[in-house]
Every structure is written in C-alpha cells, then in structure tokens.
A = this chain, B = another copy of it.
Amino acid sequence: MARRSVEIKKIQDRSKRQVTFTKRRQGLFKKAGQLHSMCDADVAVIAFSLAGNAYAFGDPSVSSILDRYRQAGAASPEDIYPVAVNLTAAEKKVGEILEKAAETKGAGGRSVWDKEVEKLGFGEIEEMENAVEEMKKLIGLQKRRILSNESNCGE
C-alpha cells in the first residue's frame, strides 16, 4: 500500500515477512479498536505468527468475547427447518466457476473469479445474478436459524 502496489500472496523473504507481519498486525489491531469505539461493537482479533507466537486484541477483553462466541456458536443444533429451493442451471454455472477458481489459485492476489466472470455474456450474467440471490436467501435463512435465540429487533 505504498511506494508500490503489492500482491496479496505469501511473502517469501523471511525478514520482510516478519516486518510486514508486525506492521499489518498493528494496523489490524488498531482498526479493531476503532470499530469497538465507534460502533460499540465487541471485537476480538487473534493472530498467530508463522513463528507460532500468539497475539490477541480484544475490547472489552479477548476471553469475554470468545466466551460469547462459543455460547452463540453452541446455539446451532440439528433441529433445523428444511428449506425448499431449486437449483437452476445458473447455480451450477456458479459452481463451475468457483471450482475453477479454487483449483487455479490465481496469481496476482486475486481469485480467478474475476477472469471467469468477465467472460460471461449478458444472458449468463442475469442467470448468475439469480443464482447468487438464491444463495443469499439460503444463507440468510440459515443465519437467522442460528441466531434466532437472540431476540433483538435489528435494523
């Protein structure tokens, strides 16, 4: 982010990687603290360096947030409603693209998604949009199921 644009991929040089880890970890923790202060959100960040050292940040405290997370996460039992959504051809198209993306591990820090998506024509794009909407619905449903024990009326 400075002097030169840099690829988001593993830094090979040991000492450079170490320096970057320190700088970016500090930046990450700072951002986390700002999110806490500005939005009254409880935030925890844990980072393990390649060397195995643990660094943690938490407002109000790491352990309190982890406890809360465990508690919330434990609320995802098996008693889930079945949903009925049909897979369309477009959805399968999404799958194919993602498959390629996962295989190729694109260079340049970005996934291959971009390139694949760029090849799509107008008709396919609309199908993709629909497919993604379906995905969003499913994900939203599942999320509400999991979080349903929290009875706050958000938004």
How close is A134's CB to chain B, nearest CB, in angstroms? 8
Residues of A at the B interface (CB closer than 8 Å) are: 8-11, 17-18, 20-21, 24-25, 27-28, 31-35, 37-54, 56, 62-63, 65-66, 68-70, 72-73, 75-77, 79-80, 82-87, 91-92, 94-96, 98-99, 101-102, 105-114, 117-118, 120-123, 125-126, 128-129, 132, 134-136, 138-139, 141-143, 145-147, 150, 152, 154-155
In angstroms, Cα B50 to Cα A85, docked, is 15
CB within 8 Å for A125 and B143 given contacts A45-B32, A51-B152, A82-B110 = yes
Assess the B69–A56 pair: CB atoms within 8 A. Answer: yes
In Å, the complex CA distance between A87 and B77 comes to 29
Closest B residue, CB atoms, query A45: B45
